[in-house]
Amino acid sequence: MVRVTTPGVRLLPNAITVLALCAGLSAVQFALTKNFAMAIASIGIAAVLDSLDGRIARLLDATSKMGAELDSLSDGISFGVAPALVVYVWQTGADRIGWVASLIFAVCMILRLARFNTLLDDTEQPPYASEFFVGVPAPAGGLLAMLPLVAYLQWGEGWWSSQYVVWAWTIAIAALLISRIPTLSLKTVKAPAKAIAPLLLGVALLAAAIIQFPLVALLVAMILYLAHIPYSVYRHRWLAAHPEAWTVPPRERRAIRRARSSRRLGLRPPLRRRVAGAAMRAVRLPRETVRTPRGSENGQGPRRRSWRQIGLRRK
């Protein structure tokens, strides 16, 4: 069946991308008026819109080459140029090192997006490569660059608002953008049916936290994202070393991991048909009376099987 997509439907994903671009650029305007809370909110809105446009395009079968190019340009401005300018404006009277750090961050963001576009056409990647990003993705990088600003708005002046700390942090996030460190992609995460209710409850709690404590919630989210990177590296290396787990569901991957870990520790797999102790006594077979040819020849009558012959332990 061929799906017919109307021009209006094809326009919707591109319109969301343009809205994300406008939100990112508005962050610069808010920073120039010293409204840094709204500047952070604008970058957050741009990140949410950026996560929606691609999914909506695939859902409506409205993907296009123009949409992909527009999305990359929007990400470069919203999460590369805008955060760098916001942080630079926040550091009033910054020296030349601050401007150099802002340039490095913006350039690294553009390079990261260029590499991402080239990897889309790479058909030689292993099947598990779609579960990871190469380096920190653009929306996460843009928000992480403003972590010192978020801490400043929450707690005021401190070591986190020092110029050298801010610029060192900016360069460190820029390095993560262009690094080869694998990070998990939420696009391939699938929730089981029994986890839908807890997830919806979690979404409600998250919304309440964002409404009541927006800066704290953003800080916790960014710290948790940084904390997941070691696990992502471990998972990527484990999948690379176990080709048999590339095309199996997560439940079977966990079974493979448990089996290999038990072998590495020298543990025996569980016995399925043998039991011992009280369990053995519970399933003890009744003793049988059998006649053996030797007993019948000697006239000794019926002979009972001993517990050693049956293979059971004596009480």
The pLDDT value recorded for residue 21 is 93
List b or e across 104-125, with b for residues whose CB sees 16 or more CB atoms inside 10 angstroms.
Answer: bbbebbbbbbeebeeeeeeeee
The pLDDT value recorded for residue 308 is 53
Q: How far apart are CA 293 and CA 183, in angstroms?
A: 74
| Full DSSP string of 180-209 | --EEE-GGG----GGGHHHHHHHHHHHHHH
Q: Is 39 left (phi over 0), alpha (psi -120 to 50) or beta?
A: alpha
Half-sphere exposure of 182 (CA within 13 A, CB side): 18
The pLDDT value recorded for residue 151 is 93
How distant is the alpha carbon of residue 125 from its chain centre?
19
Three-class SS string for 217-241?
Answer: HHHHHHHHHHHCHHHHHHHHHHHHH
pTM of the model: 0.76
- Regions of the chain short of the pLDDT cut 70: 1-8, 93-94, 122-123, 188-189, 191, 250-251, 260-315
Q: Express the helix, strand and coil content of the chain in percent, nearest 5 each.
A: 70, 5, 25
The pLDDT value recorded for residue 266 is 56
The pLDDT value recorded for residue 31 is 93
The pLDDT value recorded for residue 281 is 47
What separation, in Å, do the N-terminal and C-terminal C-alpha atoms of the chain show? 71
96-134 pLDDT per residue, tens: 888 899 999 999 999 999 888 887 776 677 777 778 888
Tokens 């049956």 -> residue: 310
| Coil vs helix vs strand at 250 | helix
Which backbone phi and psi does 234 adopt, to 5 degrees? -60, -45
The pLDDT value recorded for residue 304 is 55
The pLDDT value recorded for residue 263 is 59
Residue 183, beta-bridge partner list: 133
List b or e across 289-305, with b for residues whose CB sees 16 or more CB atoms inside 10 angstroms.
Answer: eeeeeeeeeeeeeeeee
Q: How far apart are CA 83 and CA 105, in angstroms?
A: 9
Instruction: Give the CA radius of gyration of the chain.
Output: 31
Q: How far apart are CA 141 and CA 233, in angstroms?
A: 18
The pLDDT value recorded for residue 285 is 45
What type of residue sits at position 283? V
* Residue 128 and residue 11 in contact, taking contact as beta carbons nearer than 8 Å: no
The pLDDT value recorded for residue 288 is 45
The pLDDT value recorded for residue 242 is 77
The pLDDT value recorded for residue 268 is 55
Q: How far apart are CA 243 and CA 300, in angstroms?
A: 65
Question: Residue 75's closest CA among 143, 138, 11, 144?
Answer: 138
The pLDDT value recorded for residue 207 is 86
57-89 pLDDT per residue, tens: 888 877 778 888 888 899 999 999 999 999 999
